Amino acid sequence: MTWLSNSSVGRKVVMGVTGAALVLFLLFHATMNVVVIFSPEAYNAICEFLGANWYALVGTLGLAFLVVVHIVYAFILSVQNYRARGKERYAVTERQKDVEWASKNMLVLGIIIVCFIFLHLYNFWFKMQFVELQHMAGADVDLSRVTDGAGYVRELFACPVYAVLYLVWLAALWFHLTHGVWSAMHTLGWNNSIWMPRWKCISKIVATIIVLMFAAVVVYYLFAGLCGGAACAA
């Protein structure tokens, strides 16, 4: 199985498989998040179910592994493609003009998304699941955000700074997904003339659904905060 790491095709397969898995996670995460608008109690119940227990921790480690592998392979492929183009990367051709904007800027979009991941981990994982782990270890910590996740979401997105940062990330994520989903299917073999147009359409639909669900939560609590005069979360 060394071809998965040593060959260009193998690396693309790894990218496709990990990318598809991460898209499924994003669909789940976005669906979970949008629940907070309709039922804060149900959202808190979901947070409790996904708290510092063995299956949630195993899932977190598995997700972290997928993200790291996806990022590493994306960087390797980007460097490989950059070197392979050589002097052609400076040329402007009709072929380059036909390439989608997202396709030409996947690395930049990826960097924006990775930077956001660190912010998101700080805002939610560090202040919720990690705090719960500290409590389980005997530390004296504030569990208010652990027991009232909906209240913390409301508090965080009432801050315009955080709301704008998340919306910028969601814009980058939309472009990344519109190219990434069909590219993954192309790599995994569904790349004939019939299915590729379909996958490109499906990519836009999936990306839009995911981003709209995430953005709905941000915008809902942003306007609620602006109307209520809430301060930014610490």
**DSSP string spanning 1-33?**
-THHHHSHHHHHHHHHHHHHHHHHHHHHHHHHH
- Work out the pLDDT band at 6, boundaries 50, 70, 90: low
* 74, part of any domain: yes
Give the model's pLDDT for residue 95: 46
Question: Does residue 196 have a pLDDT over 90?
Answer: no
Output the domain CATH number for residue 111. 1.20.1300
Contact 129, 51 (CB under 8 A): yes
pLDDT tens-digit readout, 27-64: 999 999 999 999 999 999 999 998 888 888 999 999 99
Q: Structurally, how many domains does the chain consist of?
A: 1
Give the model's pLDDT for residue 89: 47
- Work out the pLDDT band at 93, boundaries 50, 70, 90: very low
The encoded tokens of residue 204 equal: 């836009």
User: If you average pLDDT over residues 149-166, what whole number do you get?
Assistant: 94
Question: Does residue 214 have a pLDDT over 80?
Answer: yes
Question: Does residue 154 have a pLDDT over 90?
Answer: yes
Question: Does residue 25 have a pLDDT over 90?
Answer: yes
Domain extent for 145: 3-228
* 195, part of any domain: yes
* 109, part of any domain: yes
Q: How far, in whole angstroms, is CA 22 from its chain's centroid? A: 7
Question: Which phi-psi region, left, alpha or beta, contains residue 86 (left: φ > 0; alpha: ψ -120 to 50)?
Answer: left
* 234, part of any domain: no
* 233, part of any domain: no
Tell me the HSE value of 111 on the side-chain side, using a 13 A CA sphere.
Answer: 5
* 165, part of any domain: yes
Q: How far, in whole angstroms, is CA 48 from its chain's centroid? A: 22
Mean per-residue pLDDT over the chain, rounded: 85
Give the model's pLDDT for residue 172: 93
